[in-house]
Structure formats: structure tokens, C-alpha cells
Amino acid sequence: MTTTTTVPAARTAAGPGLPAPGRVLTGDRPTGGLHLGHYFGTLANRVRLQQQGCELFVVVADYQVITDRDRPENLAQLRTSMVLDYLACGIDADNSVIFAHSAAPALNQLLLPFLSLVSTGELDRNPTVKEEIRMAGRSKVNGLMMTYPVHQAADILFCKAELVPVGKDQLPHLELTRSIARRFNDRYGPVFPLPEGLLGEVGTLLGLDGRKMSKSLGNGIALSDGPDQVAAKVRAARTDSERRISYHPQSRPEVANLLTLAGLCLGVAPAVVAEQVGAGGAAELKRVVTDSVNKLLAPIRARRASFGPGDAAEILRRGASRAREIADATLAEVNAVMGMG
Ligand code: TRP
């Protein structure tokens, strides 16, 4: 069940045997509610790392929202609900720096020297950007879409993060970040650590229609979905006509994905869930999936209900002030070694 990857910059577990890294940074685009793919991909790792004593930074990536659309819609509300998602998952806001791109000017300024360290060919080849361009289905691609991975390197490096909990799709951006840090250090002197990625339990949790779980495809289970919404979504999920339930990702991808989802929620292997359902068929499988998702989400819903939009606003205000302080210091250091200070 654990994801393996050939990218040397990534590891898959934040086990107690590993030394606790100092700073951890990650982020999300405020484009809609976070879903279970985010939870198993990165949110659970954030909470775990924080419990191990890491200093957690989370960027609400508002400038990344305008890579594939003309205008950011409902930005204030989406930012707030994303912070509430974090709190609901168990992120301890008192021990984190949660802030928006747009609130940290010096972070954004790092984009300029960093852009000078990458070639346009490198930007063209980024597989995640290519996929996002395909998914956006627009006739024109804007410059921010091509360069946001460099901006993301600024997100990671402004606070000299050492570990970046992400989903698998973000690994190309992490490789680029490491290249930028290495090239900057080679050219101007040692300023940045080379950050490592930390993958979650699943590479890509598929949505209920068999495609990648994605906010824009609307095929995911949101962390804020109520029990009835979960039941309705799972009921509508695709399965197949074979009665006995078995875990065969190649030949039965839809069934395997439901088994993976239930397994992740219950903390057991998908094959164990398959065994349990056995001859119960798709109806029994869906009942097990619904119950297991709702069991996972129950404490998350309860925590969400204990916070309000005022809490989120205050957390973003505090985070912005701390992020600005750190970004100013890093930019001053960068300017100094570049002879611009
Ligand atoms: N690109 C990430 C996503 O779409 C969000 C993100 C922005 C991010 N800045 C980051 C992730 C820095 C990790 C580190 O999910």
C-alpha cells in the first residue's frame, strides 16, 4: 500500500525512527474544499510531523489559483474554508505558520532570481504542468502557468524548509526546487538547504468515477461532506458486474479504488477489506466504504464545528506577520550574496 518512487528526493514515511526535520513547508490552492486525496496524500502527514515536533508552514497558494482561470472567485471565503479544513484535520494552528502568498511580498520577490536559474526547456518539460494545461482545456496558456513551479520553489525556500509533505504529482516541482537551491548555492554561496519530499500513503487516490480525485472534476469526497453526501457519492460510484469482491487493481480498477479508500480509512490493506466483503457484492462493498469514510470523517466534522471564520482570519493574520518576517530576512540574505543588498 505504501507508495514507492524512483525520485531520490522523496520518502514515504514520517516514522519515529527518522530524525525530526526542522522546518516543514507545504501548501494548497484555495480553489474549493480539500478532499480525501489531500487527506491521505499530505494532510495526515502534516499532523503527524507536527506531533513529532516539526515547525509547520502552510502556504495558502492564492497566486496559483490564477494559473488556469481568469479570475479568482470567492477567494476570501475559499481561504477561510481551507484554514478550517486544516483545523478540522488536527493541524495545531498555535504551532504553525499558515499564510497566503499575497501576504508575503518578499517571498514573491524571490521568484525573480530563481527564474534566472531555470531554462525555458525545463519549464516546458514539467509533466505536472503539462497535465494541468491539458485538464484546463483552454486555448491559451498564461506565463504564470509555465512558471508557477519556480514560484513554488520560493514558497519552499523562503523559510529554508527541509521537508515537504506532498502528493506524488508535486514531485517534479520538488526536483526543480532542489535544482534551484543547488544552482543558487553554487553560484552565490550556501544559502538554501536541499528539501526532501514526503509522500503520503497513496500515490494517487482515484475519484469515484475512476479518474484522479480532483476538486475540478468534482469526483472526490470533500472533508466537509456530511454523512448523507458521502453515502450518495459512494452509491453513485462505478463498480463492475462481478459479484465476488476481490482486489485486482489492473483488471478491476473501480472496485480496487473503493477497496483502497476503505482500507485507508480503516488502516488495513485493501485485500483485507475485499476478504470481508467477499460474496456481498457491490452493495455490501459500498456499505463498507460509506461506513469507513464516515468513521474517519466524524471527528474531523466535530473539530470543524468547534471553529469559526473569525478563528481562520486571525490565524491567517498571525501567519502573515511571521511569514513576512522570515521572507524579509531571507530576501535580505539573497540580495546580500548577490551583491544587491
Ligand atoms: N501546487 C500545490 C498543489 O496544487 C500547492 C502548493 C503551493 C505547494 N505551494 C506549495 C505544495 C509548496 C507544496 C509546497 O497542490
Please state, as a whole number, how many other Cβ atoms lie within 10 Å of the Cβ of residue 324. 16
Which CATH number characterizes residue 156's domain?
A: 3.40.50.620
In a domain, 219, yes or no: no
Outline where 169-219 has alpha helix (H). Answer: 171-188
CA of 224 to the centre of ligand 1 (A): 21
- For residues 116 and 263, membership in a common domain is answered with no
Is the separation of the CB atoms in 213 and 206 below 8 Å?
yes
CA of 268 to the centre of ligand 1 (A): 28
- For residues 166 and 269, membership in a common domain is answered with no
Q: Return the C-alpha cell found at 232.
A: 450518495
In a domain, 80, yes or no: yes
Indicate the SS3 state at residue 55: strand
In a domain, 3, yes or no: no
CA of 41 to the centre of ligand 1 (A): 12
DSSP structure class, residue 137: T
CA of 58 to the centre of ligand 1 (A): 9
Dist. CA 317–CA 311, nearest whole Å: 10
Structural domains of the chain, count? 2
- For residues 105 and 40, membership in a common domain is answered with yes
Indicate the SS3 state at residue 27: strand
How many CA within 13 A on the CB side of residue 293? 31
What is the model's pTM?
0.90
CA of 295 to the centre of ligand 1 (A): 28
- For residues 144 and 278, membership in a common domain is answered with no
Mutation test of ligand 1: which of 23, 25, 29 has the most ligand atoms closer than 8 Å to its C-beta? 29
CA of 150 to the centre of ligand 1 (A): 11
Residues of the chain with confidence (pLDDT) below 70: 1-21, 202-204
Ligand 1 nearest atom to the CA of residue 25, by list position: 14
Structural domain span for residue 232: 227-305
Q: How far is CA 34 from CA 63, 192, 218, 222, 298, in A?
A: 17, 30, 11, 6, 16
pLDDT value at position 217?
A: 77
Spatial CB neighbours of 210, under 8 Å, sequence gap ≥ 6:
238, 253, 254, 257
Q: Which residue's C-alpha comes closest to atom 6 of ligand 1? A: 27
- For residues 131 and 148, membership in a common domain is answered with yes
Query: Which residue do the cell numbers 514558497 mark?
Result: 155
Q: Which residue's C-alpha comes closest to atom 15 of ligand 1? A: 28
Mutation test of ligand 1: which of 99, 132, 155 has the most ligand atoms closer than 8 Å to its C-beta? 155
Q: How far is CA 185 from CA 151, 157, 188, 286, 327, in A?
A: 18, 12, 5, 53, 18
Q: Which residue's C-alpha comes closest to atom 5 of ligand 1? A: 28
Q: Return the C-alpha cell found at 86.
A: 486544516
DSSP structure class, residue 21: P
pLDDT tens for 250-303 read 999 999 999 999 999 999 999 999 999 999 999 999 999 999 999 999 999 999
H or E stretch at 163: strand 163-166
pLDDT value at position 11?
A: 62
Ligand 1: residues whose CB is within 6 Å? 25-29, 59, 61, 64, 152, 155-156, 164, 166, 170
